[in-house]
Amino acid sequence: MLTVSAATGGDTVLCAPMAEGEEFVISFVHSVNKRPVYDTLRVEGDHLVIVKSRFDSFGAGMPDGSTTEGTLSTGKDGWIEWTINRPVPEVTVRVGRVAEHVLHFKGREIRLSELAEPGKALSFKVEKGSFVRAMKGRCMR
């Protein structure tokens, strides 16, 4: 189960069953160049894998070449792809005031500002879920 929780306090604000290998995307507007960025993550066992970032122009803090950490390439659509496939126990995102963070998964789009106030941090992680927990929280099917 993918859970999204307040980084402080740990209250679950969203959860959803996710299959092994299922991917989701967190998109946002880059703070400097004001262009969209799409970060793809995958569920693997008890952790997440940061798969890649897609963006259409370079900006501060964005990769500008391949390294031992990842490969930079251009997709057929002209977008730049930074592929890293890095396993992580969780991903924490501070909800931006102008970044317009959006969670894309299971055919849905959820603005992170609907889950937490801008400036607050949300943690994304994989947890074992149960039907009872799904019925108690803000879980989706």
* Residue 141 belongs to some domain of the structure: no
pLDDT over 70 at 80, yes or no: yes
Instruction: Please provide the average confidence, as pLDDT, over all residues in the chain.
Output: 88
In a domain? residue 35: yes
Is 123 inside a domain boundary? yes
Q: Assess whether pLDDT exceeds 80 at residue 60.
A: no
Provide the domain count of the chain: 1
Averaged pLDDT, 18-42: 93
- Does residue 29 lie within any of the structural domains? yes
Domain that holds residue 82: 2-136
According to the model, what pLDDT value does residue 62 have? Answer: 76
What is the predicted pLDDT for the residue at 115? 94
Q: Is residue 79 one of the residues assigned to a domain?
A: yes
| Position 52 in a domain | yes
Condensed to tens digits (0 to 9), the pLDDT of residues 101-135 reads 999 998 999 999 999 999 999 999 999 865 555 55
3-state secondary structure the chain: CEEEEECCCCCEEEEECCCCCCEEEEEEECCCCCCEEEEEEEEECCEEEEEEEEECCCCCCCCCCCCCCCEEEECCCCCEEEEEEEEECEEEEECCCCCCCEEEECCEEEEHHHCCCCCCEEEEEECCCCHHHHHHCCECC
Which pLDDT band holds residue 100 (cuts at 50, 70, 90)? very high
- What average pLDDT does range 82-101 have in this prediction? 94
Checking if the pLDDT of 31 tops 90, the result is: no
- Domain assignment present for 125: yes
Mean pLDDT of 58-86: 85
Does residue 84 sit within a domain?
Answer: yes
